[in-house]
Amino acid sequence: MSLSRPLGRLRLGVNIDHVATVRNARGSAYPDPVRAAKLAEEAGAEGITAHLREDRRHISDHDIERLMETLTLPLNFEMAATDEMQKIALRHRPHAVCIVPERREERTTEGGLEVAREENRLAHFIAPLREAGCRVSIFIAADRRQIEAAQRIGAPVVELHTGAYCDAHAEGDFEARDRELERLREMSAFAHSIGLEVHAGHGLTYDTVKPIAAFPEVMELNIGHFLIGEAIFRGLVPAIHEMRRLMDEAREG
């Protein structure tokens, strides 16, 4: 089932990881990702996303504590499916938990989670998080098998990985980009048709956001790296305002 009208206002979650990347490059106390989160809130973001990686390369445990204490926006806590992260999430009980794959050697989250092959383990893994009141989303490729598996393990939300679409655009391979876009379009509609809430993100920029924002089933976009980079040139609030403007424009059709 595909919809012709959007399901509602598209939410923007601002990922602040790379404010912490810059801070950690010098081992200083600045720039502070919590300050960035507050500015994102002022700019009209509907949520803040932060990924506590196993190697703590950007966001730290203390950042998560401070975000939980001071944020009024919902926190989307990205984490790998490990016992350590589950304990941290259960201690803080953020609004949302997004389960992502993680390999130490990768530069960023390179692919979606392999849910289909790990259904049993992941079903047990997310159950206590759901019981604790966290809205669990699973970060996956736009792949029917993975979407069906996410539904079977009881996740209410899937976040579709837009990285391949954005990479193809950046490389100027427009055929591949359009193929990826079509796959994302079909799989957003499919995930929605089986009762899942659909989010999307990874690698989105001003040039790539509109076609994704136009998918009527997509309820939330999570965007970080580009916005933090753009903030160097125009400031974080104007950078977010421009993203919001493009999302709204795409949504209005």
Using CB under 6 A as the criterion, which residues of the chain lie in contact with ligand PXP when the complex forms? 15, 17, 51, 78, 98, 100, 109, 139, 159, 201-204, 222-226
109 or 146, CB closer to ligand PXP?
Answer: 109
| Catalytic residue list contains 78 | yes
Nearest approach in angstroms of CB 99 to ligand PXP is 9
Task: Note the Cα 100 to chain centre separation in Å.
Answer: 9
Q: Which of 18, 202, 217, 220 is catalytic?
A: 202
Nearest approach in angstroms of CB 193 to ligand PXP is 22
The residue behind tokens 């598209």 is 10
4 or 12, CB closer to ligand PXP?
Answer: 12
Nearest approach in angstroms of CB 228 to ligand PXP is 8
Nearest approach in angstroms of CB 198 to ligand PXP is 13
| Catalytic residue list contains 51 | yes
5 or 104, CB closer to ligand PXP?
Answer: 104
50 or 253, CB closer to ligand PXP?
Answer: 50
Q: Which of 18, 58, 78, 217 is catalytic?
A: 78
| Catalytic residue list contains 18 | no
Q: Which of 18, 51, 169, 192 is catalytic?
A: 51
| CA gap 192, 153 in Å, rounded | 16
Name the residues annotated as catalytic: 51, 78, 202
